[in-house]
Amino acid sequence: MKKTIAAAAVAVIAAAVAGAAHAQTPLKLPDASQKASVSQTVGLTDITISYHRPAVNKRKVWGGLVPYGEVWRAGANENTTISFGSPVKVNGKELAAGTYGLHMLPTEKEWTVIFSKESNAWGSFSYDAKEDALRVGVAPEPAEFQERLSYTFDEPTNTATGVALRWEKLRVPFKVEVDTHAVVVANIREQLRGLPRFSWQGWNQAASYCAQNGVNLDEALTWADRSISMSETFPNLRTKALILEKKGDAKAAEALRAKAFTIAGEQDLNNYGYQLLGQGKTDDAIDVFAKNVKAHPASWNCYDSLAEAYAAKGDKAQAVANYEKAKSMVKAEDQKKRIDGALAKLRS
């Protein structure tokens, strides 16, 4: 009996091996429509489109390969997908963060862009309108010929970007908007649960972002106060002053700015001067750098910064005089060489 069972088992195994020898083993070969992805960060929000790129290949695309009036996968092979790292608006309509199957419904004049909650299907063959998260109408535009389908992010800013499908002689655009300030503030709150909460700089950075952008000012004021309670500094006093100014208390703001200058160090004033220079406030920058020279006459770097501000203003005489003073004081050869280069440009 045991010999009979063993013989049967051997026979089954032999049959399986023989069957496997005749089974097709697929090889990994290049896709006719190559896989691609494109990403863009808007503020802190990542947007990614993953898709496959079919070719025109001398075919009629619109109304042919891609029929009018039928939902299309907006690419080739499995779902084209689009992911949003935070809530967005698409053509003014709200869409939650997440990954969506991207489909399109083309007609000869108007198209519909569809964001489906199902993002793991094969193409649009199992598409179900009940799974739509959002639909938006778009107007296709004539464009230069493109052999392979692609997606682009056009003219991105910190709060919005254009998105466009481009294929054959057509461009299909839609706009994505992000409430970047809301995203950043939420992200700041989360970061302040970690290591940044243990330094005055972390609380000041949080308050400063809100102050500079005029958002979340009440909470920002508490962050500024938290920073000042840890260490009263030139930067956090000025941050609180800006918040108070934006909340309408100009008198208290001016008093804080005056107090900030009484505790400012050389590096504080130097950084502030360059901040003003970067904002195009050249005369204000010169005033700050001049105060720094007066407060720290033994620092070659103060004269060097003042010279740079005068050069930006176009006052070559004052720029040369302050560069010469800085050069006479500095010991590092690389700095002397840099100053010589600046002087050469001013004298050319």
CATH number of the domain within which 299 lies = 1.25.40.10
> Are 231 and 242 in the same domain?
yes
Sheet holding 34-42, edge to edge: 34-42, 45-53, 81-84, 98-105, 111-116, 132-138
Residue 274, amino acid: Y
> Are 216 and 174 in the same domain?
no
Low-confidence ranges of the chain (pLDDT < 70): 1-23
> Are 241 and 307 in the same domain?
no
Q: What is the pLDDT of residue 60?
A: 96
Q: What is the pLDDT of residue 5?
A: 47
Determine the Cα–Cα distance for residues 184 and 44; give it in Å rounded to an integer.
7
Q: What is the pLDDT of residue 32?
A: 81
Tell me which long-range contacts 62-65 makes (C-beta under 8 A, separation of at least 24).
62/106, 62/168, 62/170, 63/108
The string over 235-255, giving b where at least 16 C-beta atoms fall within 10 Å of a residue's C-beta and e elsewhere, is: bbbbbbbbbbbbbeeeeebee
Q: What is the pLDDT of residue 19?
A: 52
> Are 224 and 136 in the same domain?
no
In 117-197, at which residue ranges do the beta strands (DSSP E only) sit?
A: 132-138, 141-154, 160-177
Q: What is the pLDDT of residue 116?
A: 97
Determine the Cα–Cα distance for residues 271 and 274; give it in Å rounded to an integer.
5
Summarised one tens digit per residue, pLDDT across range 35-70 is 999 999 999 999 999 999 999 999 999 999 999 999
Where in the sequence is the domain holding 94, given as residue range(s)?
34-178
Q: What is the pLDDT of residue 29?
A: 82
> Are 145 and 72 in the same domain?
yes
Q: What is the pLDDT of residue 27?
A: 87
> Are 143 and 183 in the same domain?
no
pTM of the model: 0.81
Residue 23 lies in a domain: no
Under 8 Å between Cβ of 227 and 209 = no
Residue 91 lies in a domain: yes
> Are 196 and 253 in the same domain?
yes
Residues whose CB is less than 8 angstroms from the CB of residue 29 and which lie 6 or more positions away in sequence, other chains included: none
> Are 118 and 196 in the same domain?
no
Determine the Cα–Cα distance for residues 74 and 63; give it in Å rounded to an integer.
14
Determine the Cα–Cα distance for residues 120 and 169; give it in Å rounded to an integer.
29
Residue 268 lies in a domain: no
Residue 215 lies in a domain: yes
Q: Among 128, 143, 178, identify where a domain stops.
A: 178
> Are 95 and 122 in the same domain?
yes
> Are 188 and 233 in the same domain?
yes
Q: What is the pLDDT of residue 12?
A: 47
Under 8 Å between Cβ of 202 and 226 = no
> Are 74 and 170 in the same domain?
yes
Q: Among 178, 209, 238, identify where a domain stops.
A: 178
Q: Phi/psi of residue 52, each to 5°? A: -115, 150
CA 248 to each of CA 227, 243, 263, 275: distance values in angstroms, whole numbers, following the listed order: 21, 9, 25, 24
Q: Among 116, 151, 178, identify where a domain stops.
A: 178
Residue 345 lies in a domain: yes
| Dihedral angle, C-alpha 322, 326, 329, 334, nearest 10 ° | -160
Q: Phi/psi of residue 153, each to 5°? A: -105, 120
Question: Residue 313 has what DSSP assignment?
Answer: H
DSSP H/E element including 49:
strand 45-53
Q: What is the pLDDT of residue 25?
A: 76
> Are 83 and 166 in the same domain?
yes
Domain count along the chain: 3
Residue 63 lies in a domain: yes
Q: What is the pLDDT of residue 306?
A: 95
3-state SS class at 103: strand
**Among the listed residues 29, 49, 25, 28, the one whose alpha carbon sits nearest the alpha carbon of residue 39:** 49
**Among the listed residues 40, 118, 42, the one whose alpha carbon sits nearest the alpha carbon of residue 80:** 118
Residue 336 lies in a domain: yes
3-state SS class at 129: helix
